[in-house]
Amino acid sequence: MSTVRGIQKGRRLSGSNRFFLFGLPIIAGSVIGYVGIAQIVAGRTEVVHERDERDWELLKVTQALSKEGILKNFKQRKPTTLEEELKAIQQQVDINNFEYKKVPRPGEKADK
The pLDDT tens digits of the residues spanning 26-70 come to 999 999 999 999 999 999 999 988 999 998 888 888 777 666 555
Tell me which residue range forms the domain holding 65: 18-77
Domain annotation covers residue 97: no
In a domain, 101, yes or no: no
Helix, strand, coil share (%) of the chain residues, nearest 5: 70, 0, 30
**Mean pLDDT across 85-89:** 89
Residue 75, pLDDT > 80, answer no
Within a domain: 106: no
- Asked if residue 80 has pLDDT above 90, the reply is no
pTM above 0.75, yes or no: no
Higher pLDDT residue, 28 or 109? 28
The number of folded domains in the chain is 1
Q: How many other β-carbons are positioned within 10 Å of the β-carbon of residue 7?
A: 13
Residue 49 located in a structural domain: yes
Question: Considering the domain boundaries, does residue 61 fall inside one?
Answer: yes
* Any domain includes 86: no
Tell me if 58 is assigned to some domain. Answer: yes
Residue 13 in any domain: the answer is: no
Residue 79 confidence class, pLDDT cut points 50, 70, 90: confident
